[in-house]
Structure 1
Amino acid sequence: MWLILCLALFFSSGQTALATEQVEVFDSDQQKVIATFDNTPALQKEAQLILDSVSGRVLEFNPSLDHVRVVKIPLVPPKRLTQRSAGIEADIAEMFVVIPKKGSRPPWLILHTKQYETIVVEFSVSVKTLKELVKLP
């Protein structure tokens, strides 16, 4: 009985689920993933802060993916995003934070929903903490 209880607690732990999904940093200039990290509670918390600051859809027809770093964060479990003014109500399974290396364009998000849809949005929170967590300059 104790063994079953211990195994149930081990497999229901949020830490176990997070450990299976890696956070990746992609560099568009190098055209490859340059770093991977464990998907820690700190990264999940930062991802939630970013999602909470979504201000609307990206209005540019085709935002540039040149000279950027993209931080891919799987959301475990998926997070609910409701942004009524932009008509967004979805469960987000994965977020890609696009961080331009130079220029005046602020960072933006590419979101993948549980329903396999893609949403491109702006957000207002600083990416300073995220950059520290994934060791970006």
Structure 2
Amino acid sequence: MWLILCLTLFFSSGSAVGAEQVELFDSDKQQVVATFANSDVFQKEAEQLLATVSGRVQELNPSLDHVMIVKIPLAPPKRLKLASASLDTDIAEMFVIMPKKGGRRPWLILHTKEYETVVVEFTGAVDQLRANVQLR
């Protein structure tokens, strides 16, 4: 869990959410490999993924090895309500974790407006997001 916290702090900056860009991070290279304007396309994609959140990640420490991570600042923050996971909060920032290979489905690291970190599973597809950040 500490690795998740460190990674999310690495991505975070002090600027206003609306001014932040969408970033693509490669865990193998340990760097941001591309940035994109935080357009309505990314905002709608983030909203669609949030709508498919199915619960909290049950793994103690999900792997961040060999993944691509898309950071999407949400402007304005989006509400996430999921009674089964005791979630009712505003999400300010979303990190979509997409394993490069293997059987693990993508998952999300979310930052709330209250500076809390929530790690969740979702059922939505990431095909459109992958296309938007030019991943094949």
- TM-score in same-fold range (> 0.5): yes
Aligned residues: 121
What is the root-mean-square deviation of aligned Cα atoms in Å?
A: 1.2
Encode CA deviations 1:8-27: one digit per residue, 9 max, x unaligned.
Answer: xxxxxxxxx88622000000
TM-score using structure 1 length: 0.86
Q: 2:75 corresponds to which residue? A: 76
Encode CA deviations 1:50-108: one digit per residue, 9 max, x unaligned.
Answer: 00000000000100000000000000000000000000111000000000000000000
Matches within 5 A, 1:43-82: 43-82=42-81
Matches within 5 A, 1:98-109: 98-109=97-108
State the alpha-carbon separation in 2 of the partners of residues 20 and 88 from structure 1. Answer: 27
State the alpha-carbon separation in 2 of the partners of residues 60 and 20 from structure 1. Answer: 33
Q: 1:128 corresponds to which residue? A: 127
Aligned residue identity for 1:127: V
Q: In 2 relative to 1, CA 19–87 (structure 1 residues): closer, same or farther, beyond 3 Å?
A: closer
Structure 2 unaligned runs (5+)? 1-15
State the alpha-carbon separation in 2 of the partners of residues 95 and 34 from structure 1. Answer: 17
Give the 3-state SS of the residue equivalent to 1:130 in structure 2: helix
Q: In 2 relative to 1, CA 48–32 (structure 1 residues): closer, same or farther, beyond 3 Å?
A: same
Q: 1:95 corresponds to which residue? A: 94
Give the 3-state SS of the residue equivalent to 1:74 in structure 2: strand
Aligned residue identity for 1:94: E
Encode CA deviations 1:30-51: one digit per residue, 9 max, x unaligned.
Answer: 0000000001101100000000
